[in-house]
Amino acid sequence: MERTEEFSRPAADEHGSDPSHGAAEHGKARAAFRAMDEGTAADWQIIGGEYRAFAKGLPDRVLAHLKLLDGDFGGFPVCRLEHSLQTATRAHRDGRNEEYVVMALLHDIGDTLGSYNHPEVAAAILKPFVSEEVHWICQNHGAFQGYYYFHFLGMDRDVREQFRNHPHFEACRLFCEKYDQAAFDPDYDSEPLEFFEPMVRRVMARPRVSLYAAAMEDA
Ligand SMILES: [Fe+2]
Ligand SMILES: [Fe+2]
């Protein structure tokens, strides 16, 4: 599959800056302050309205970013998007609930920008929308997944043992055993991204835990 990008960016000059300062934004109201300590209620009414609209676009940005994993094999038998779809499909067919399936779909989304700590990127994106257990599974899946390959790279496959007495140890161990480590089969009939799209939208419809949750309440 070919890599697809759905991000649209304004034309940049030779210095990489946008000479139009965002032509699409032209004509929209903007706050008047030059430093936040000059801000007024009117300023923040403008920004708050923009924030609510922007935040509601999160599922679109997440789905677009997942597509960046398409065609990215990194030596594996399947590309990172197929691995993500297969992990989520296996979890769904095993009867896991929606937030778990969405976690399975997103668990490696941080590979692009979090090359040295990818589980934490996905966990941070999911944190406002999922249970503490599902968040913990995502955040720590790297250590548990290592059981299946760290010893081939001169690393300790038992690094997950540091969490042995944690209440979510078994849940994370099962995620890796049943879904993540098993999701590299090129012949598996994974559901397409479109199948999971409504789930992503429902799970991300409203944050449960966020410093900014109150700002979304009248949205
Ligand atoms: Fe991972
Ligand atoms: Fe994975």
Give ion ligand 2 contacts, CB < 5 A: 108, 180
How many angstroms is it from 154 CA to the middle of ligand 1?
18
- CATH number for the domain spanning 92: value is 1.10.3210.10
> Is 84 contained in some domain?
yes
> Is 144 contained in some domain?
yes
Which amino acid, residue 128? P
How many angstroms is it from 40 CA to the middle of ligand 2?
46
Tokens of 87: 């992990």
Average pLDDT, the chain: 90
pTM beyond 0.85, yes or no: yes
Ligand nearest to the CA of 175: 2
CA distance 143 to 157: 8
Sign for the pseudo-dihedral over CA of 11, 8, 109, 73: negative
> Is 3 contained in some domain?
no
Give pLDDT, residue 28: 86
Query: Residue 91 in 3-state DSSP?
Result: helix
> Is 18 contained in some domain?
no
**17-21, 95-99, 117-121: least confident range:** 17-21
How many angstroms is it from 213 CA to the middle of ligand 1?
28
> Is 143 contained in some domain?
yes
- Confidence check: pLDDT of 135 > 70: yes
Give pLDDT, residue 14: 47
How many angstroms is it from 51 CA to the middle of ligand 2?
32
> Is 93 contained in some domain?
yes
- Confidence check: pLDDT of 6 > 70: no
CA distance 193 to 84: 9
Torsion angle of the four alpha carbons 198, 201, 206, 212, in this order, in degrees rounded to the nearest 10: 170
> Is 175 contained in some domain?
yes
Residue span of the structural domain in which 147 resides: 62-203
Ligand nearest to the CA of 144: 1
Which amino acid, residue 72? D
Tokens of 199: 């789930």
Tokens of 38: 């000059």
> Is 167 contained in some domain?
yes
* pLDDT mean over 82-106: 98
CA distance 107 to 2: 21
Provide the domain count of the chain: 1
